[in-house]
Structure 1
Amino acid sequence: MDKIPLLIVDDQPEILNTLRRLFQKQYRVLSAPDGPRALEILKKETVAVILSDQRMPGMDGVRFLEKSRDMQPDALRILITGYADIDASIEAVNRAKIYQYVSKPFEPDELMMVVDNAAAHYRMTLENRALQEALTRANQHLEQENRQLKSEIEQQLDLGKFIGHGAAIQKTFKLLRKVVGTPTTVLLLGETGTGKEMLAKMIHFNSPRKDKPFVVQNCGAIPDTLLQSELFGHVKGAFTGAVENKKGLFEQADGGTVFLDEIGDTTPALQLGLLRVLQEGEVKPVGSTRTIKVDVRVIAATNRDLLEAVEEGTFREDLYYRLNVFPIHLPPLRERREDIAELARFFMEKYARRLNKTIKGMTPLFIELLEQAPWPGNVRELENEMERVVTLADEGGMLEPELLSERFHLNKETLTFSENGMTLKEAVGRLEKRMIEQALTKTSGNILKAAEILGVSRVGLHKMLQRHQIKAALFK
């Protein structure tokens, strides 16, 4: 490590030499017999600490240190004064902004400690400044990245770039265009993996609230008490572990949009709080006696039949009608097969860019197999499958049927159920059940692994098991 530069100024040669010898082991010592010559040194050299005597002919120590401050404001200035120079010491503090003064006679160890402390202070000042500059650059870079990312997200979520030209999805898109610029509450209905969260983002980022927060909460992912705290906030002492007040997501998203996924999985207690938000525009933190006004747009989503839940008594009727102001149905992928090739091409290009890989395209048979598949996991399953095949594909190659997962190579018989007098819905249901059973057999009843094979979420697979009355335990 380079030695720290120290400038010593004294008009008495013997003292100047003594101080030079005292500090030369630890510091790069520069010296001058008077103020003017010391100022000449400061024009050429950057120093960390200046040690100056007060009583010198022509230019005293206070005047010299004051001038040195204008030239090198970061340098730490130390004044050596006689016992009687109290006025000079006060003047040095006020005018020259000295770091410290040392009275004569002084002990070498005492002076060494003062200079060492000043040098450490100088180092810390420079390090803090460097850190501050680095932090400023990092923040500027982050802000630039955030602006770019936000711009990219807005471009991706532009209504004009919505993928799909089939009648089913265009009906959904038509409703989307009508509601996007309004503050109306929206209820998105559709199976798992149909793109409900993506649609919620499109509504938000094309609305007047696009510059405000967009907050997502899956209502079925965490316990009810924790969910109430997450959404509405809590006050200190509301429950064990509530060591401080916490703002809920509704308060954090004030002015923006809150997307509540799996709204059908909420409890009556939570539903009451949601009703308060929708009716009164206010939240009541857990453990608090007061309410807080919020301005948020609510977009809710579910794959359940909420009206059936109302009839069963598990969902509040008044909340249902508050949420069901503007329902939008997202069709499952099996009802929009004409869009599968376009969606597959979009995902192929997306993951080819991410993996920095060139893919020429998809073979006709590859596309045909995609269009014939039942897709129980909908668009999410298609995206997962396309990510997999792009990863497996050779550089510069085509996407071939051989790259597809095993479930796409079932006996042709499974693709022609309709010839046996079944309706399309019955055939798709039977094929879905068979694929689930095959996945469970392959994984010895492991639901998580089976869900991965099928390209669906664990929660989605659980719901399919209930629908088809399949018991995973029988496959263990």
Structure 2
Amino acid sequence: MSTVLIKSKDKALTLSASSALSELDGYRLIFCEDDNSAKSRLDEVNVDLILYDVDEDDFGPDNALARSRLSHTACWRIVICEKNEMSCGAQLCEDTASYLYLAKPVQEQQIRIVVKRALEHAELSRRHRILSRELKLSLDDEIFNDEEGGSVQGGVSRFERLVYASPKMAEVVAEAKVAASTGMPVLIRGETGTGKELLARAIHFNSDRVNSPMHSQNCGGVSDDALYSELFGHMRGAFPGAIADRLGLFRAADGGTVFLDEVSEVSPHFQVALLRFLQEGEVKPLGSDKTLYSNVRIIAASNRSIEEMVEKGSFRRDLYYRLRGFQLELPPLRDRTDDIPVLTQFFVEKYAGVVGRRVLGVTSDVLKRLEYYPFPGNVRELESEVQRMVAVAEQGGYVALRHLSEKIARTPIENGEDAAFVPSGVTLKDKVEHLEQVVLTKALEAFHWNQSKVAEELGLSRVGLANKIKRYGLRKG
């Protein structure tokens, strides 16, 4: 399914786009009324195409189109403008490398055709980038050692801004997609930096609440009164400093989603208020005698085991069962090293665009160090490392070992194959012959059965090498 972000306040245009691009035809539509909300959505959702209706305030250097050109290189752009602003629309299209620009009014059929053609060109461009990168890597096989892991493309999957390749993450995402199709609360557990909020936003944007707000609140280190005010709201004069009414996130997100991070840190007293809201949807602002109602979905997250807290009596059991309509466990990065190459490439492309630097790829030596490093800060730490590497890498070059931070560059690499190898045989003579056979086989494969080079490498004569090949019955595979 292709995601199209439509930034417009024009009701006629949004209605035409809704009619032209239906879900049955494979489109998911995200609507934004202004540039700031468009930029926010670009950071939350994997967008394939932007339909950007130009307002008079949209010609600054940091509008959503200009930002997407650098940080979302795979996202294509179409500019829409009034007939009397064609020159401005054309200039914006030029400045942001947009696919084309259209003058209003735009017909349904016109939208359907240009969106389809733009997405077709986007897919062809994506395949061209992959083939070009693969060709470049094949020419640099001394850098990449002709290893399968040398190239980081292929096998990559996405769930909005979550990027993964490992079976463990695939299982989590599959369950998250099921959760998204329901209205049930979701409880996400995972270490700091594993992407809990990204997963929560992906669930929201794949639910039927996608066009309603999503708000987030970190519950750690916040007093009960402050947290109550943030979530339930307050009335003017409810406490010293309350100079105006506050709506509260539960009412502000009515029809949408509220993400509660570090929910395990709320006090037993506040747990009662939260349980009441989950049961009845009741919202009673501080300083008010009136009970209001709000329909929001709660997605909660914790880096601690709430189940263990329940057993110890520090977290209400009934609240735990209310929160865990679906319970998702995000594995730490050290337990899903298959994701490190694809995440590394994703962050390289992201930050190379931000700083305007062309980076061709990442060498296999760097990937090995990253895969063996434990990453206590998980994906967030990997992202910071890649951002730093891209900043110091040479223009038009590769990210190499010299660009790694010292702590990761010192990471020891275990040669599991050599460590696990034990020559077979009963006597010493048998073991030595088996070892000799293995060394010969590897050398012949490494030099593609060029016996002159193998003999020179192993310090043998051509005749001596031929005799050993015959003796061990080696055959070219």
Q: TM-score, normalised by structure 1?
A: 0.55
CA contact 2:44–2:161 (8 Å) conserved in 1: no
- Displacement, 1:159? 3.3
Residues 233-382 of structure 1: matches in 2 within 5 Å? 233-382=233-382
**Matched letter for residue 326 of structure 1:** F
- State the one-letter code of the partner of 2:388: R
SS of residue in 2 equivalent to 1:412: coil
| Whole-angstrom CA distance in 2 between matches of 1:411 and 1:207 | 42
Whole-Å Cα distance in 1 between the matches of residues 192 and 256 of structure 2? Answer: 25
Q: What is the Cα deviation at residue 276 of structure 1?
A: 1.4
Change over 3 Å in CA distance of 1:169–1:283 after alignment to 2: same
Name whichever of 369-378 and 158-167 sits farther off.
Answer: 158-167
Indicate how the Cα distance of structure 1 residues 218 and 415 shifts in structure 2: closer, same or farther if over 3 A, else same: farther
**Counterpart in the other structure of 1:174:** 174
Q: After the TM superposition, which of the residue ranges 347-356 and 238-247 deviates more from structure 2?
A: 238-247
The amino acid that maps onto 1:155 is N
Q: Secondary structure at the match of 2:222?
A: coil
Q: Relative to structure 1, is the Cα distance of residues 408 and 227 closer, same or farther in structure 2, using a 3 angstrom cutoff?
A: same
After superposition, the CA RMSD in angstroms is 2.5
- Does the 8 Å contact 2:44/2:202 carry over to 1? no
Q: What residue is the counterpart of 1:452 in the other structure?
A: none
313-322 or 328-337, larger mean C-alpha shift: 313-322
Equivalent in the alignment of 2:45: 154
Q: Where in structure 2 are the equivalents of 1:430-441 lying within 5 Å?
A: none
By relative contact order (CA 8 Å, sep 6+), the higher-ranking structure is 2
**3-state secondary structure, aligned to 1:187:** strand
DSSP 3-state at the match of 1:182: coil
TM-score, reference length from structure 2? 0.55
Instruction: Give unpaired runs (5+ residues) of structure 2.
Output: 1-31, 49-157, 420-477
How many angstroms apart in 1 are the aligned matches of 2:203 and 2:251?
A: 20
Q: Which runs of 5+ in 1 are unaligned?
A: 1-140, 420-476
1:220 aligned to 2:111?
no
- 1:175 Cα offset (Å): 0.2
Per-residue CA deviation, residues 71-115 of structure 1 (Å, 9 max, x unaligned), is: xxxxxxxxxxxxxxxxxxxxxxxxxxxxxxxxxxxxxxxxxxxxx
Q: Structure 1 residues 333, 298: closer, same or farther in 2, change over 3 A?
A: same
Does the CA-based 8 Å contact 1:193-1:378 persist in structure 2? yes
Alignment deviations for residues 241-285 of structure 1 (CA, whole Å, 9 cap, x no partner): 123321111011111100000000111122111111110011121
The one-letter code sitting in structure 1 at the alignment partner of 2:34 is E
CA shift in 2, pair 1:169/1:413, >3 Å: closer
1:223 Cα deviation after fit: 2.4
Tell me the residue number matched to 1:98: none
1:345–1:283 Cα change, 3 Å: same
AA aligned to 1:386 is V
Written as runs of structure 1 = structure 2, the 5 A alignment for 1:450-465 is: none
Partner of 1:361: helix, strand, or coil? strand
Corresponding letter in the other structure for 2:199: L
Q: d(CA) in 2 for partners of 1:248 and 1:149?
A: 20
C-alpha separation in 1, matches of 2:202 and 2:244: 35
CA contact (8 A) 2:235 2:245 kept: yes
Q: Is the helix fraction higher in 1 or 2? A: 1
Query: CA separation in 2, counterparts of 1:258 and 1:389?
Result: 35
SS of match in other structure, 1:360: strand
Q: Secondary structure at the match of 1:247?
A: coil
Separation in 2 of the partners of 1:225 and 1:151?
33
Identity of aligned residues (%): 44
- What secondary structure sits across from 2:359 in the alignment? coil
Q: Secondary structure at the match of 1:209?
A: coil
Pick closer, same or farther for the CA change 1:265–1:144 going to 2, 3 Å: closer
CA contact (8 A) 1:168 1:336 kept: yes
**Structure 1: distance between partners of 2:402 and 2:186:** 42
Q: What is the alpha-carbon distance in structure 1 between the residues aligned to residue 383 and residue 265 of structure 2? A: 26
CA contact under 8 A between 2:44 and 2:160: conserved in structure 1? no
